[in-house]
Amino acid sequence: MAPNGVSDRSARLPRLIMIRILLLVAMQATLFPGTAFAQLAWDTFSPAQQTYPTATVTIDENMAATTTVLTITTTGATGTVTYSIASSTTAAFTIGASTGVITVNDASLLDREAISFIDLVLQAVDTSPATVSTTVRIDLKDVNEIAPTFSSTSTYSVTISESATVGTTIQALTVTDTDSAATNVACTISSGDPDGKFQFRSDNQTIELKAAIEPDSPTNNSLTYTLTIVCYDNFNGVYSGGSLASTGTVSVSVTPVNDNSPTWGTFTPALATPITTIDENLASGTIFTAAASDVDYGTDGVVTFSFSTVKFNTGADASALFTIGSSSGVVSRTAATTPALDRETYSHVEFVVLAMDSPTVTADRLTITQTVQVNLKDVNEFTPVFDPSTGLYNVSFSE
């Protein structure tokens, strides 16, 4: 009571207001449990995040700057809400203070090959002020952005023998994919093998000989192959976006092998015994022509002719009387006059003709021989003569 007798209403009024407020709060709590005072809280984010730390928001690596990653919102705020990134593994993201929209700040920091996730501590503050915070993990999804890489060089040079067998290793490549998901790499021969001589083994990185080289074949006599190799990643289908490819070159040089002897062809005249008959005392001209061939590649298949021996039937040497063309095989009479080509002394001449190929290495030469007989024909070279020893001829006749 106030000293002037008037009740002190001014002193009681705040107390009544406080009591009424407390009653309202109590009624609200009774009638609407759990929704008491509206207070600042996180609302559902967009896209909805999973429960941390099991999983969170997943985005592609290298996502471009300004791309929206996540929008965060609150409920129960008093006044305006200010959003912020309280802390972060990197400065890859930024947030709109009033919008709560998190966008990419620096795409270079979203490299899956360097980092797999980024944790953001997000904060919202209203004007009451009340503060809420939460942690969101941004998982980076690997993107197939790196083509396969050759380990040291993408240009190979290999030398193999003509006689290399099917299955021989030509070149083992080491080609890898350095994308984070490390996909399998498969290589193929895209060009340079028109005859199908090479193939990749099942490991997809080792080239082997698929078919014999056969440079001696008239239809396939190449000694060099330049194989274009294309290596694809994502062979195991990790990425839905297809494959990236890198190209290499494998140059294969074939060293020829002299693996074929010469073989005799058709002589002129045709081989027989004798092959021909010549007049004794023949002074010049062609006697016969030898023929041979060799299927080897290059000089391995070049044939030259020579005489192994030329003898009379008595065994006497007759080589001075004849010559043979090294490449033509033409056997001719030389101008030599001795020994005499005399039918009265010899019945025939026996030639042992030698054909030889011409590989670079002399020791690799292959030879064949053929014996050819040429008969001598007697020539009527002597005029009949009287025997002077008799001196007297008696002739008688009748009348």
- Asked whether the beta carbons of 286 and 192 are under 8 A apart, the reply is no
State both tokens at 372: 């050819």
Q: Supply the minimum distance, in Å, between the C-beta of residue 331 and Ca ion.
A: 23
- Establish if 126 lies at the interface with Ca ion (CB under 5 A): no
Residues 6+ apart with CB under 8 A from 175: 148, 149, 150, 151, 185, 187, 205, 231, 246, 248
142, 173, 312, 349: which one binds Ca ion (CB under 5 A): 142
216 belongs to the binding site for Ca ion (CB under 5 A): yes
Q: Is 294 in the site for Ca ion (CB under 5 A)?
A: yes
Q: Which stretch binds Ca ion (CB under 5 A): 104-112, 202-210, 277-285, 325-333?
A: 104-112
Q: Whose structure tokens read 């080897």?
A: 296
Q: Is 258 in the site for Ca ion (CB under 5 A)?
A: yes
| The pairing of beta strand 117-125 with beta strand 131-141 | antiparallel
Element (H, E) at 26: helix 9-31
Binding-site size, Ca ion (CB under 5 A): 18
Whether 239 and 228 have beta carbons less than 8 Å apart is answered as no
246 lies in the site for Ca ion, by CB under 5 A: no
Binding residues among 331-360 for Ca ion as defined by CB under 5 A = 357
Assigned token pair, 390: 């008799």
Beta carbons within 8 Å of 275's beta carbon, 6+ residues apart:
267, 269, 288, 372, 373, 374
d(CA 330, CA 285): 10
Using CB under 5 A, pick the residue from 43, 60, 119, 145 that binds Ca ion. Answer: 145
Stretch that binds Ca ion, among 1-9, 41-49, 82-90, 172-180 (CB under 5 A): 172-180
- Which one of 296, 321, 356, 358 is in contact with Ca ion (CB under 5 A)? 296
Instruction: Please select the residue that binds Ca ion; options are 39, 260, 345, 367, rule is CB under 5 A.
Output: 260
Q: Left, alpha or beta for 73 (phi > 0: left; psi -120 to 50: alpha)?
A: beta
With a CB cutoff of 8 Å and minimum separation 6, the contacts of 327 are 303, 304, 305
303 binds Ca ion (CB under 5 A): no
Among the residue ranges 115-123, 212-220, 281-289, 385-393, the one whose residues contact Ca ion (CB under 5 A): 212-220
By CB under 5 A, residue 146 contacts Ca ion:
yes
| 43 vs 145, beta carbon nearer Ca ion | 145
306 interacts with Ca ion by CB under 5 A: no
Report the residue number, 120 or 355, with the smaller CB distance to Ca ion.
Answer: 355
Give the H/E segment covering residue 14. Answer: helix 9-31
Q: Cα(18)–Cα(5) distance, rounded to whole angstroms?
A: 25
CB of 193 to Ca ion, least distance (A): 20
Sign of the CA dihedral with 334 first, then 337, 340, and 341 last: positive
Among 93, 94, 177, 358, binds Ca ion (CB under 5 A): 177
Kindly tell me which of 102 and 366 has the beta carbon lying closer to Ca ion.
Answer: 366
CB nearer to Ca ion: give 257 or 275. Answer: 257
- Closest distance between Ca ion and the C-beta of residue 342, in Å? 40
Asked if residue 150 binds Ca ion (CB under 5 A), the reply is no
179 binds Ca ion (CB under 5 A): yes
The residue ranges that bind Ca ion (CB under 5 A) are 112, 142-146, 177, 179, 216, 233, 257-260, 294, 296, 300, 357
